[in-house]
Amino acid sequence: MDAREVIEGILQGNDKLLDALYTNYRREFVAWALREFKADQQTAIDIWQDCVVIFYESVIAGRIDTLNSTLKTYLFAIGKNILLKKHKWELRHNEIEETMLEDMSFMEYNWQHEQQEEKIQLVESALSGLGDPCRQILHQYYYQRRSVEEIARSLGYNNSDTAKNMKYKCMQRLKKVLIPA
């Protein structure tokens, strides 16, 4: 299609010429956008429509009266600019989204860490409220990782069964404090 003829046709209101312009290069543009910019079919079609509208509005507004290139080259250049802007926007949008996800992950980690700290403080407070020997037995078993036999020796019990039974009873008391019925 001749650019001069299309520009004059648009200025004279020749809609058939505009329709022909739209359909003449559409398939080629869509294939090019899919191949070169990895655009999806619908996006490529939408951008082609935008190219024709931008060209039409530029002609009507008097910004274009002649072209230094072919009509196809001009329209594809418009499309390329739109595709590049879209690509840059998507990159920025993805970076922002990734940053937000990282921030949210960090916040989630901090929240979980704070929750963990609160639980530890609650257990420690409940342990200190139990008094001896429960506090000593549970502390040695869970914090110092001592065996029941070692605990029995350190607290002067006759055998490990006594320490084991005491540990069980102390855990039951601790659970009642932490998880009231």
- Is 154 a domain residue? yes
- Is 107 a domain residue? no
Tell me, yes or no, whether 24 and 82 share the same domain: yes
Percent of the chain with pLDDT strictly greater than 70: 90
Domain count, the chain: 2
| Distances, alpha carbon 91 to alpha carbons 28, 127, 175, in Å | 26, 53, 52
| pLDDT given at position 106 | 67
> What mean pLDDT, rounded, does the chain reach?
86
Averaged pLDDT for residues 139-159: 88
| Distances, alpha carbon 82 to alpha carbons 34, 72, 154, in Å | 14, 15, 78
Tell me, yes or no, whether 9 and 84 share the same domain: yes
Residues 86-102 as b or e (16 or more Cβ within 10 Å = b): eeeeeeeeeeeeeeeee
Structure tokens, 21: 């312009």
| Helix axes of 71-130 and 160-178: crossing angle, nearest 10 degrees | 120
Tell me, yes or no, whether 85 and 139 share the same domain: no
pLDDT tens-digit profile of 30-59?
999 999 988 999 999 999 999 999 999 999
**What is d(CA 127, CA 132) in angstroms, rounded to the nearest whole number?**
9
The answer to whether the predicted template modeling score (pTM) of the entire model surpasses 0.75 is: no
| pLDDT given at position 12 | 92
pLDDT band at 110 (very low <50, low <70, confident <90, very high): low
Averaged pLDDT for residues 101-121: 72
| Helix axes of 3-11 and 41-60: crossing angle, nearest 10 degrees | 70
Q: Which domain holds residue 39?
A: 3-97
Q: Is 109 exposed, middle or buried (0-12, 13-18, 19+ CB in 10 A)?
A: exposed
| pLDDT given at position 27 | 96
